[in-house]
């Protein structure tokens, strides 16, 4: 690589600058393309593929926009069944440096086992501590699953170290595990839906 000396404590793959600094003109071009924009505008694109799910859940995509610091709006699309739904979440208040967690209210269309349903949720989330460079956060709350006509508990734990992160979550019906890797504005995720069905996801913030 060229252009700067390497910092032995820096993870060179936490962004895609390693592509732009490559000796390969092709990789430099790929890096220039993927580095846009240097300052994201508030949009987020997400796609997920779980090949062993039913048609409704094999492919899932959403596009959302951070309207304000506290409001995100978007649309979900499931191409194999041509279903479209709305997603929205509101941060009622953020967490602080002492005891207070963040409160999030929202709605989305999700898979709960073999059931697909609109849901309405309220969660509290809080960063707990950092140990050995790993940041540990928890969240918990409840969701109303329209198709079940029931309120179910939800919760999970999130771990992050540099560009790596992992999550274990309970959706109210299923448990899921995911491991993610950030590359600048891009995130690649490997996941295990219901601790049984493997899949992959890609996110892009622009």
pTM (2 decimals)?
Answer: 0.84
| pLDDT score at 15 | 60
Distance CA 64, CA 109 (A): 14
Contacts of residue 53, defined as CB under 8 A and 6 or more positions apart, other chains included, come to: 111, 193, 197, 199
| pLDDT score at 153 | 98
C-beta separation of 54 from 46 below 8 A? no
Residue with tokens 């709960």: 112
| pLDDT score at 33 | 74
Integer-rounded Cα radius of gyration of the chain = 19
Residue with tokens 């622009």: 206
Distance CA 144, CA 203 (A): 26
Two structure tokens written together for 203: 């996110």
Distance CA 98, CA 96 (A): 6
| pLDDT score at 28 | 81
Q: Where are the alpha helices (DSSP H) in the chain?
A: 17-20, 25-34, 55-58
Two structure tokens written together for 24: 């390969």
Q: Where do the domains of the chain lie, and which CATH numbers do they carry?
A: 1-36 (no CATH), 44-205 (2.40.160.40)
**pLDDT < 50: residue spans in the chain:** 1-13
The SS3 call for residue 26 is helix
Predicted confidence (pLDDT) per residue in 130-186, tens digit: 999 999 999 999 999 999 999 999 999 999 999 999 999 999 999 999 999 998 889
Two structure tokens written together for 21: 């600094």
Residue with tokens 């039913």: 54
Distance CA 12, CA 32 (A): 16
Burial class of residue 39 in the structure, from the number of CB atoms within 10 Å of its CB (0-12 exposed, 13-18 middle, 19+ buried): exposed
């Amino acid at each position: 690589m060229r252009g700067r000396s390497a910092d032995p404590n820096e993870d060179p793959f936490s962004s895609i600058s390693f592509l732009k600094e490559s000796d390969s003109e092709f990789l430099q071009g790929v890096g220039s393309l993927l580095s846009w924009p240097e300052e994201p505008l508030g949009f987020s694109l997400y796609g997920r593929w779980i090949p062993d799910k039913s048609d409704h859940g094999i492919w899932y995509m959403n596009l959302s926009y951070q309207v304000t610091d506290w409001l995100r709006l978007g649309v979900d699309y499931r191409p194999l069944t041509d279903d479209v739904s709305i997603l929205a979440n509101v941060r009622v208040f953020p967490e602080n440096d002492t005891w207070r967690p963040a409160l999030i209210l929202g709605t989305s269309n999700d898979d709960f086992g073999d059931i697909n349903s609109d849901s309405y949720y309220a969660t509290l989330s809080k960063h707990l501590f950092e140990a050995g460079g790993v940041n540990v956060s928890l969240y918990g709350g409840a969701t109303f699953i329209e198709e079940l006509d029931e309120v179910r508990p939800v919760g999970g734990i999130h771990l992050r170290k540099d560009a790596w992160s992992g999550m274990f979550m309970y959706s109210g019906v299923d448990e899921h595990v995911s491991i993610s890797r950030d590359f600048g504005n891009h995130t690649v995720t490997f996941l295990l839906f219901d601790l049984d069905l493997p899949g992959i996801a890609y996110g892009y913030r622009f």
